[in-house]
Amino acid sequence: MRGAADGRPRRSDDVLRRLLSLIFEGRLSPGARLPSERELSQRLSVSRTTLRDAMNRLEARGFVERRAKSGNYVCTALPPAVRDPIQEAVGAQVARLADVVAIRKVLELWAVEQAVQQRQPALLRAMEKRIAAMRAAMRFRTDEQFERYRGADLEFHQMLARMTCNPIYVHLIDFLHRLIRDSIAISRELVAGDYGQRNLRAHERIRAAIARQDAPGARQAMLDHFSLVEQRLGASRSQPAAPADSRPSRHGRAMPRRLEGGPHRSPPTSLSHS
C-alpha cells in the first residue's frame, strides 16, 4: 500500500488492512451498516483521525458507501473492473437478466450443498428470524410490507452465503442478487396473490433441509425457489422498459432511478462472528 510522502507507512494502512479482512471474511457483510466512527475507533484501538483516513480510502475504492444522516455501509468487495461491465451490459439490455438468474441458480445450488456440510446453528437461527420477518409481511398489504419481505428474503440468502465459509462467494452472490432484485421494476400489485406464501414455504424448506443435513432435500427446495424467481422475472417483462438514464450504484447494482433506494438497511454490524 502507498505510504506517507516520506515513504513511511501511514498509520491508517494497518486499519485499512484490518477492515478489508473483516469485509472479505464476511464478518462485515455487503449492505451492513458499520458501527459509528466513535465506536469503531474504540474497537480497533485507533484515533478517529486514523480511522477516518482508512474509511476515506475504503470509500474511494468502492468498499464502503457513506450516506448522510444514516452512516457507513459495506459494499460488495468485488472490484469495479469485475462488476462494472456486468452492470452496464444488464443496464443496456445487452445481457439478459435471465442469464444472471441462471448463473445465480447454479451458485446457490452449490451453496446449499456446502451449507448442509457446514451447518452452523447461529446462522440457522438467523435464517429463522428472516423467515419470521417474511411471514409477518407476506400478505403484501402495503408497499412497506412488500419491501420488508424483500429485505428479509435478501438477508436470508446472505446468511446462506455466510454458511458456505467462502468469502468470495459471499460477495459474488450478493452482487448478483442485488443486480437482479434492483433491475426488475416489479411492484406488489404485479406479484401473484400467493407468491409471498409460496416463496416463504420454499425458504422454510431450504432451512429445514440444511438443519437436518439433507442435501437432496435442500437442493430440491432451492430448485423450487428458483422456479418462483423465474416466474417473477417473467412477470416483470410485461412492464415498460427502464428509463434510459439507468445507472449503476456503488453497491454493485444497475437500476432505474425510480427504483433506487439502497439495500435493506441492517443494524450496526458486530465485529464478532455469529
User: What pLDDT digit, counting tens, does each position of 99-155 carry?
Assistant: 999 999 999 999 999 999 999 999 999 999 999 999 999 988 888 988 899 889 989
Please report which confidence band the pLDDT of residue 274 belongs to, taking 50, 70 and 90 as the band edges.
very low
Quote the pLDDT of residue 251: 46
Please state, in angstroms and rounded to a whole number, the distance separating the CA atoms of residues 236 and 186. 6
Strands 253-255 and 71-74: unpaired
Shared domain check, 199 and 136: yes
Shared domain check, 177 and 104: yes
The model carries a pTM of: 0.72
Q: Which of 21, 46, 74 corresponds to the end of one domain?
A: 74
Model confidence at 22: pLDDT above 80: yes
Quote the percentage of the chain above a pLDDT of 70: 78
Q: Which of 35, 52, 74 corresponds to the end of one domain?
A: 74
Quote the pLDDT of residue 200: 94
Quote the pLDDT of residue 254: 39
Model confidence at 72: pLDDT above 80: yes
Which tens digits make up the pLDDT trace of 212-237?
A: 999 999 999 999 999 988 887 776 65
What is the domain-level CATH number for residue 189? 1.20.120.530
Q: What is the mean pLDDT of residues 234-261?
A: 45
Model confidence at 190: pLDDT above 70: no
Give the range of the structural domain holding residue 199, as residue numbers without chain letter.
80-259
The secondary structure element, H or E, covering residue 14 is: helix 12-24
205 Cβ neighbours under 8 A, 6+ residues apart: 217, 221, 224
